[in-house]
Structure 1
């Protein structure tokens, strides 16, 4: 320990032990615990206590009846556990009867402070730290702590109950480590007494008629199989699996969700390879649970790499059953493959969907979500019923917008329950978008585009539904490229495109800003993908969409203006946003796209549009946009001048990114090593003219660390490209760097007013070579409070808050 910290420690302990002192907040106590943990991990806990007896005195002082705050008592319990994690220190504290006083029955368990969840949580966390060696197991068994942990599983505080269950798993794991590992699967009767007690407790809970006790046991076992992978977990499953299977016989089945989590946790462990009976239990569980309860188990089974085919078929049938019911409710035309055809064993007759609206909506949404996650996985069921799934998704969307034709009583109920249901619409549109990754019959794909257009045109579609409809439409358009990956759209998609642009034109005029925003995002994505395709260009230019997108640069909502900037950037990149002459205003020339976006950058009062403009400018510079190529130097100068004075740190950071792109283009980023002297000198003159160095040097001292980091990276890149002078003759006369260094000193001190003025390239290079940019980069990489987080500073600040230290000794963080 640092000598200065050791000097402050007695005063700290005195403050913590004094109930009259207003000790610093919980954050300070957490930092103190972190520090003590780091100290003990780096050395001997026993030596720490022997050299600093005030720490032991603090722990003994906590045992005395007094009015200590619950957080100080919790702190002391956790601190004692931290020290006792090392076995020799545990023995030292045990000899003084300190540990029984803190964690035994005569400790806080019987005091009024036990009523505070903070104390109970501190007690559990202290034991969790302490339980690291065999001596701790004996202590837990003899002190009665294990019984207390059992009772805390049902604690009214969820944090305490969860921590108690995790502690039981840790005790089991600790108790079963050792020589038994590697000598075959250890039997439960061979486990240490402490582990046997936990196992017997779990048995009692699983046999209980009280559902909460069953749930507690299942949660503990789920954690055990999820985090512990020793041979003992196999023995635990052998002992307890009959009791788990017996839960399936109860009516109603207790804790179905917890049971599903346990079975999946066991299935992902090493147990199935040694105990195939797990698959039979899983199959029985699938058949006993309701469709809503069985969905997560079925989806989890299908995500496993190794699983019996019969169980996979059963699980897939469980997931498909609700969608099969939807298709049956509309009497799908003959010839459409059934969703449940080919299932082995049980014919998997279609069950009636839940009668209540909330249950039916929940089942359909969860089913669609599970199938959406399965679709891209390599272990998804094969053959994948692409056509029936497409038909089901389209049918659900038609039920939701009222255009379905029900053919049964179930269909009539579905119409009533699903019409206008935004939650199901969103889930079905997400699923429909994922299905675009597969093929489908031509007539079904036609239906897909038709239902998507219905949703995009409907005045009843909510903004979130419209956004998802735009996203799904884009994915289906991308999948319609012929051949795959080509820029051209097939004829059917070309027809859809014309209807889409008509819809988009209307949506860009919507009174709802979220709709205008989604429309602009869709336009940007389409233009990025098909801006060079003749059919798209012709259809777009024949519409009012580009003009409307330009007008939205003046939208009252900043998010919309930002999206309009992105759309304008893409349209201009492809030459789709030219400024035509205006018959209404023949004398007033239209602003070019570059002028429009520069106006946004320099005048918009919100940060989002200005950030969007900077992203567009960087992309234009990188791609050689025609408006930039005309006078690249003037373009960069204007953008950097605007960005350098922006109050938004992200705009300044993006300005530095644009400066780096420009620098790489001037110096040839692809060529390794230093740039040729002639090219370097010419580039430096250009950089000085655009005032890049003024911006970069100022940014080194920016109050926002990301900006300073980007500036440091830019200058390091430049210095790497500048070969050091090998001789005085090559270097020439020493440049005058005094004005630059004086300005840097002023900026470092916070005086940002005076500019650098005209710079000589040689002076810039000399300053760059004299600066320790590597050290600055390392400093910037550290957290902003790395100095103030020192242990000495922490102790000083805690003491200063109670007046033990003078103000000049505190270093507040």
Structure 2
């Protein structure tokens, strides 16, 4: 701690001890505690360097009139100091710990009811327990009981902190080695025993599902980090309670109960978790059954290959709802299932009359039924990738079942492809019709299933249902977007042999043209995005489909540049850039219509009032230049002309992302200008350093080439844009510009910069005047400046340091914090000092 802060600290301690009122800024004490924590972790002994803190804690231990926030700070500070050997010894000698952490003391003073005190008590102990003797003090003082009681605290912050502290204490009982015996200390055994008894009694006494979920969450958190034998000891003690919960079949605790099972589960584990898992995978409630199976597959990926029995059962359970609803043979034929609920499904799928009360109730509960279907759909792609000895059907059948479900959701259930559906089943599954939630889940699943084995055999069915959704006039915008995404996923796997028929391609083109004129901007935006993303699918280059022709889609994109919605205009710009990448790569001359498009984009950069479209335009030219300069080549003249306009407009733009994208383009230009030169060897060499043929100095040819490159950059407006951005009010823009200027300066410093005459023009006012002020030159010094002289005179390294600092670096100090606390405390003690007005504390 510095001398000034050390001199201020006693006054702060006295102020906090004497004043019974809270500070105006309730975060200042937390910030002060953070400072003390940093000092302690840096190896500073707080009792030795700050002896006034000991007196402060001793005073506050018997003070019950101060504000709870100050008392809570005292508890946390006590725990921090007691975490070290010296602090623990001194506080014990003063008998402070027994008093300040006494729950009886705080209850007698009626302060324990304040959450601030309970939080301070918990955090103080959590810090103190870093000391090896603190656990013994904690257990022998009887503090475990109140900690267990705080697990059910009405304050969620207190309950969460109590849970974390209890987990920390329990894990401290573990042996260092996983296979060693558990510590036999009475303190450690008491913690484990009391904790298991408390959880057992709480699960038994409480009838509320929220209480059960809370303690199951605590147990799962412990088991996830516990090792043998602590994990087995806890599971054995709580086995009966957990099995009772599993048999009760309460849907509200299925997830936390599965968390507990999977946290303690392994193929080598004892019979407790195996019995629990078996119970959960054989419950007689479809929703709970599916939820448990999904949870098992999500949490057991590491041991799924070693537990084929439970994995196979979970897979069958997750396929059951789709099997029942769509009548696809997902479970094979002639197979006998051990699960009673499986039999229930099979019976109902073949009988027109619902003869099972449980299933009938599940079908009538629309919310639960849809949630169950969505859970199955989320896991369907993962299930389709399971080994063949686990999966009861071919992956292609899963794809067809999702297609069938999508057809049901569209309301098209009376077509020739559904001859077995009767009136009763249509009535049962009416909740699926037009369900956006099921449609979105099914489309997400269908997109992921494109990578499953044998998916190509379902190409016609998939393309037909996706086109059907795209053609529906009343489709929800989100459903349409998901349909486009699924179609893109499938098209990325299609080959020439499995491509969509020509007629279907023409129908798709007609649908896309119609959707591009949809009155809903979300639909237009999704359509334009789809057209742009088509260009990113390499395998479509050989497919003869009219939709994939730029001549068919480019007019739609150019028309979208005039869309009234800025999102759509931005998507159109991005799509046009993707479509022109092959043309740019071949360095062919752009036709007149594409040249007109470039002019249109520059007009957007000039006049568009929304930042989204302007950002996309700058990114368009950045992509163009990147493609043309890989490998190095001469950029087209139209591109170079456009670059000048981009820098001119981008420097004046009010959107900081436009300016950052402009600087990315400037970086590409720098890279291209210096890329042709070899680099000087040595650690001091910069990636853009110029070529040296002699280790003693640069050649004249290299200097001439560098000067020519700098003149080109100046002519393109790069230097003017960088100098303008250097004084920009947006710090990310100024920082990037500063770094690029340093790059140029370092390259120039290796050459004979004094002989180079490269200039750029500064405006008479605005940023030009700021640059001249930085150079300490008068306004009549001329509008043109020498680039080499500017880069030499500007202190770019210092400026980069300042721009890299956070905005609070000036006030972010312990001394400033202590001064603020004293100032606020003094004004609080004497209201006349601030005229009765609110005190504003400037704590970083």
Match of 2:520 in 1: 512
Cα shift at 1:451: 1.1
| Correspondence 1:794 to 2:794 | no
Cα shift at 1:276: 5.9
CA contact (8 A) 1:327 1:391 kept: no
Deviations 1:266-319 (A, max 9, x none): 23xxx6535365334312221127343344542343342224211111111221
Cα shift at 1:392: 1.7
Q: Does the residue aligned with 1:89 lie in a helix, a strand or coil?
A: helix
**Could you tell me how far apart the structure 2 residues matched to 1:172 and 1:812 are?**
38
**Could you tell me how far apart the structure 2 residues matched to 1:757 and 1:237 are?**
81
Deviates most, 230-239 or 657-666: 230-239
Deviations 1:480-499 (A, max 9, x none): 1348xxxxxx5425543322
Structural mapping, 1:579-598, within 5 Å = 592-598=596-602
Match of 2:71 in 1: 73
Q: Does the residue aligned with 1:273 lie in a helix, a strand or coil?
A: coil
CA contact (8 A) 2:663 2:737 kept: yes
CA contact (8 A) 1:524 1:567 kept: yes
CA contact (8 A) 2:758 2:787 kept: no
Deviations 1:320-360 (A, max 9, x none): 111111122xxx4xxx5546887875583353454311111
Candidates 211, 215, 218, aligned match of 2:216: 218
Pick closer, same or farther for the CA change 1:37–1:358 going to 2, 3 Å: same
| Correspondence 1:558 to 2:566 | yes
Cα shift at 1:544: 6.5
Match of 1:101 in 2: 99
CA contact (8 A) 1:644 1:652 kept: yes
Deviations 1:120-141 (A, max 9, x none): 2232222222222343223222
**Could you tell me how far apart the structure 2 residues matched to 1:410 and 1:166 are?**
53
CA contact (8 A) 2:410 2:434 kept: yes
**Could you tell me how far apart the structure 2 residues matched to 1:29 and 1:345 are?**
62
Pick closer, same or farther for the CA change 1:282–1:748 going to 2, 3 Å: farther
Deviates most, 368-377 or 317-326: 368-377
Structural mapping, 1:476-625, within 5 Å = 476-482=490-496, 490-492=498-500, 494-529=502-537, 533=541, 538-539=546-547, 545-573=553-581, 592-624=596-628
**Could you tell me how far apart the structure 2 residues matched to 1:413 and 1:754 are?**
87
Q: Does the residue aligned with 1:106 lie in a helix, a strand or coil?
A: helix
Match of 2:279 in 1: 284
Candidates 682, 706, 718, aligned match of 2:732: 706
Deviates most, 563-572 or 427-436: 563-572
Match of 1:320 in 2: 319
| Correspondence 1:23 to 2:23 | yes
CA contact (8 A) 1:429 1:469 kept: yes
Pick closer, same or farther for the CA change 1:372–1:72 going to 2, 3 Å: farther
Pick closer, same or farther for the CA change 1:381–1:102 going to 2, 3 Å: farther
Q: Does the residue aligned with 1:183 lie in a helix, a strand or coil?
A: coil
- Structure 2 alignment gaps of length 5 or more: 346-358, 681-688, 692-701, 835-839
CA contact (8 A) 1:701 1:747 kept: no
**Could you tell me how far apart the structure 1 residues matched to 2:192 and 2:539 are?**
67
Structural mapping, 1:170-181, within 5 Å = 170-177=168-175
Pick closer, same or farther for the CA change 1:671–1:532 going to 2, 3 Å: farther
Match of 1:427 in 2: 441
**Could you tell me how far apart the structure 2 residues matched to 1:753 and 1:286 are?**
82
**Could you tell me how far apart the structure 1 residues matched to 2:295 and 2:568 are?**
40
Output the TM-score relative to the length of structure 1.
0.85
CA contact (8 A) 2:20 2:67 kept: no
How many residue pairs were aligned? 779
Cα shift at 1:42: 1.6
| Correspondence 1:785 to 2:808 | yes
CA contact (8 A) 1:505 1:544 kept: no
| Correspondence 1:147 to 2:145 | yes
CA contact (8 A) 1:737 1:763 kept: no
Match of 1:202 in 2: 199
Q: Does the residue aligned with 2:149 lie in a helix, a strand or coil?
A: helix
Structural mapping, 1:739-754, within 5 Å = none
Q: Does the residue aligned with 2:378 lie in a helix, a strand or coil?
A: helix
**Could you tell me how far apart the structure 2 residues matched to 1:275 and 1:440 are?**
39
Pick closer, same or farther for the CA change 1:512–1:561 going to 2, 3 Å: same
Structural mapping, 1:331-350, within 5 Å = 332=328, 338=331, 346=339, 348-349=342-343
Structural mapping, 1:7-22, within 5 Å = 7-19=7-19, 21=21
Cα shift at 1:699: 2.4
Cα shift at 1:458: 0.7
**Could you tell me how far apart the structure 2 residues matched to 1:752 and 1:94 are?**
70
**Could you tell me how far apart the structure 2 residues matched to 1:753 and 1:603 are?**
32
Deviations 1:15-64 (A, max 9, x none): 434556551433333322211111111225xx423443432343344445
Pick closer, same or farther for the CA change 1:539–1:278 going to 2, 3 Å: closer
CA contact (8 A) 1:394 1:451 kept: yes
**Could you tell me how far apart the structure 2 residues matched to 1:104 and 1:68 are?**
17
Cα shift at 1:515: 0.8
Pick closer, same or farther for the CA change 1:325–1:670 going to 2, 3 Å: farther
CA contact (8 A) 1:105 1:144 kept: no
**Could you tell me how far apart the structure 2 residues matched to 1:765 and 1:652 are?**
21
Candidates 442, 445, 450, aligned match of 1:436: 450
**Could you tell me how far apart the structure 2 residues matched to 1:130 and 1:371 are?**
49
CA contact (8 A) 1:49 1:55 kept: yes
| Correspondence 1:273 to 2:277 | no
Match of 1:399 in 2: 408
CA contact (8 A) 1:457 1:503 kept: yes
- Structure 1 alignment gaps of length 5 or more: 484-489, 582-589
**Could you tell me how far apart the structure 2 residues matched to 1:68 and 1:801 are?**
17
Cα shift at 1:790: 2.0
CA contact (8 A) 1:185 1:234 kept: no
**Could you tell me how far apart the structure 2 residues matched to 1:465 and 1:409 are?**
27
**Could you tell me how far apart the structure 2 residues matched to 1:362 and 1:752 are?**
73
Match of 1:310 in 2: 309
Cα shift at 1:441: 6.4
| Correspondence 1:248 to 2:246 | yes
Cα shift at 1:780: 4.0
CA contact (8 A) 1:79 1:126 kept: yes
Match of 2:637 in 1: 630
**Could you tell me how far apart the structure 2 residues matched to 1:424 and 1:567 are?**
30
Structural mapping, 1:718-737, within 5 Å = 718-722=744-748, 724-725=750-751
Deviations 1:255-275 (A, max 9, x none): 3332111111123xxx65353
Match of 1:487 in 2: none
**Could you tell me how far apart the structure 2 residues matched to 1:738 and 1:619 are?**
26
Candidates 364, 368, 379, aligned match of 1:355: 364
Pick closer, same or farther for the CA change 1:493–1:722 going to 2, 3 Å: farther
Cα shift at 1:223: 0.8
CA contact (8 A) 2:138 2:144 kept: yes
Deviations 1:70-129 (A, max 9, x none): 333322222222222224322322333322333213332344433333332232222222
Deviates most, 698-707 or 712-721: 712-721
Candidates 475, 486, 495, aligned match of 1:472: 486
Q: Does the residue aligned with 1:449 lie in a helix, a strand or coil?
A: helix
- Please, what is the CA RMSD of the aligned residues? 4.0
